[in-house]
Amino acid sequence: MTPVELSRTVLHAVRRAVDAGELAVTVLPERVVVAPPGPGGCGDYATNVALQLARPAGQPAPRVAELLRTRLLRTDGISDVVVTGPGFLNISLDGDADGRLVRDILRAGPRYGHTDDLAGQAPELHAAHDARAVVLMDAIARVLRSQGARPRLTCAHPPEDAWVRILGIPSDIPVGTGTGTRSDTLRPVPAPADPTPLGRDAARWALLHPAPHDRPHLGPGHDDEHLAQRETNPLFRVRYAHARTRALLRNAADLGFTPEPGPLTSGEDTQGFLPLLADHPRVLAATAAHRAPDRLARHLVAVADALAPLLSSVLPLGDEKPSAAHRSRLALAEAAGTVLAGGLTLLGIDAPDHL
């Protein structure tokens, strides 16, 4: 069960409770957010949906949580549900949750985290005649499409030729005013210098990684930091982590074994890493909802940094023979690389297999 499937399962439990007269709620949430448990939580995923429903239902949140807990425990694929704190539902999945997560990612490929939750929606985005604004609009549109929306884009003036050739901006964005009642006018802090000398990938990262209200580091004294092939450059860390996973797959093939999702051996430092992979669908949804590609960029950096310590344990050492543990670690590395590649693609940035 993927996080998206679990979200739908919880929402279905809410609807069944309403239909049965257990919850008197007239407006149901469009979706339920599930994420790795926070401090004091347990299980594979947690949700605060009971706290959201408590006031409209006129019941204490712990009571709402218990109603939903009873229904969720009858659901195939869920082994346990624990109520913690003021009413958080902590959900444990059946069987090998780690291996199942890896299988889900590999099955979905770069589209892991894509949904049709925004199907039928056509948000209107408008950008000023500014390189950062149009790059931001293009990235937001990509993420919105990944969630099923069909955004409509307009720009104050036709994009500059260099923005199309170098920054990857679509050349056919129509000119508009952005004054419609449904229009989101994007007003990021403008770039202090021309980003095109950095090339497409570094320029887009330099414009998207900072939050829209933050000033990008561009121009003399800053351009080198976006092109440097070293650990101080977050884009390099993300792309290097992806390239390492692809190199591991090639090396494993030379050794005669392939990835196979399965239980991860105890002692591996995956406790903080696997939740990052599981959180990817939520990050995409939040990026679309808040029109904030910087959230996705920071998430990719977190995944890359958490992955780095695990890579040295993927391949057999010395005369060691490939084992089931090596195959499961290789599958985990492949899944992480898939998440990194998919996220970079949504930002309009290439994810090369070789660096």
Q: Which two tokens mark 89? A: 């539902």
pLDDT band of 240, cuts 50, 70, 90: very high
Average pLDDT over residues 167-195: 85
Closest residue by Cα to residue 322 from 235, 260, 273, 272: 260
pLDDT band of 181, cuts 50, 70, 90: low
pTM > 0.95: yes or no: no
Q: What's the pLDDT tens digit per position in 311-348? A: 888 998 888 888 888 999 999 999 999 999 999 999 99
Give residue 195's pLDDT: 94
| Surface-to-core class of residue 85, CB atoms within 10 Å of its CB (0-12 exposed, 13-18 middle, 19+ buried) | middle
Decide if pLDDT at 180 tops 70: no
Closest residue by Cα to residue 208 from 119, 133, 304, 110: 133
Question: 305 with 129: CB under 8 angstroms?
Answer: no
What beta strand segments (E) does the chain contain? Answer: 45-47, 78-84, 88-93, 124-127, 152-155, 183-186
Q: Which residues pair with 82 in a beta bridge?
A: 90
Whole-angstrom CA distances from 54 to 25, 50, 352 are 9, 6, 48
Task: Quote the CA–CA distance of 1 and 97 in Å, as a whole number.
Answer: 9
* Per-chain mean pLDDT for the chain: 89
- Quick check: helix, strand or coil at residue 78? strand
CA count, 13 A, side-chain hemisphere, 18:
18
How do beta strands 88-93 and 45-47 pair?
Answer: antiparallel
Q: What's the pLDDT tens digit per position in 40-94? A: 888 888 999 999 999 888 999 999 999 999 999 988 788 889 999 999 999 988 7
Close Cβ partners of 55 (under 8 Å, ≥ 6 residues apart): none
Average pLDDT over residues 281-309: 94
Decide if pLDDT at 263 tops 80: no
Q: Which two tokens mark 24? A: 């008197």
